A and B are shown apart, each in its own frame.
Chain A
Amino acid sequence: EDQVTQSPEALRLQEGESSSLNCSYTVSGLRGLFWYRQDPGKGPEFLFTLYSAGEEKEKERLKATLTKKESFLHITAPKPEDSATYLCAVDNYGQNFVFGPGTRLSVLP
């Protein structure tokens, strides 16, 4: 069965303290890996799509990378407004996405 896990479950950082979130996946085939940000009470907001191992994408303080078994979301010098739940999802050539449980990030001023 295809599975997506994320670690840590929750992460507290001081403003400016860089870190990484992990998304590990076990799927029969990977067409794409997606990162989303979700704020409380809102739907997930698209951040990145990664298609192949070695690929990297950047947006402001975020950089996503992909290997054959996992993806990392690196957060450089985070600000309090980066606080959210970060979800990853895989497109396994099926008709839908398989989501991980998310990492709740809190950035303290």
Chain B
Amino acid sequence: GAGVSQTPSNKVTEKGKYVELRCDPISGHTALYWYRQSLGQGPEFLIYFQGTGAADDSGLPNDRFFAVRPEGSVSTLKIQRTERGDSAVYLCASSLTTGNNEQFFGPGTRLTVL
């Protein structure tokens, strides 16, 4: 009866390094979302998957950010050449389908870029 899980819970990296953040959605949920949350702000949409395909990646800030979901379950958010401004909590959510369904969130990965 697991919820959405994310690993690692914390990641500290140096400017310019590459990082991968993992999300395990609730079993059977076809929609998966990535958000970024800065301190004192609400979650900001990054990318959404329906199955294996990225249905909407309009929230990705630039081409250093990329996400995959090759088998329609686990997703990985990849950030190249990290910058200090990338520091934030990265949240993953899943829902049963798209549309009018509540999204269930994981605990997030706190990324710190030194």
Proximity bits, B68-79, A CB within 8 Å = 1, else 0? 000000000000
- Asked if A102 is at the interface of the complex by the 8 Å CB criterion, the answer is yes
A-B pair number, CB within 8 angstroms: 61
Proximity bits, A24-60, B CB within 8 Å = 1, else 0? 0000000110101000011111100101000000000
A32, A94, A96, A97: most-surrounded residue (chain B CB, <10 A): A96
Name the 10 nearest CB pairs between A and B, nearest first.
A43-B105, A99-B42, A95-B56, A96-B45, A46-B102, A44-B105, A95-B48, A99-B43, A32-B100, A101-B42
**Smallest CB separation, B45 vs chain A (Å):** 4
Contact of A101 among B40, B91, B93 (CB under 8 A): B40
Q: Which residue of B lies closest to A36 (CB)?
A: B105
B43, B100, B105: most-surrounded residue (chain A CB, <10 A): B43
- Asked if A91 is at the interface of the complex by the 8 Å CB criterion, the answer is yes
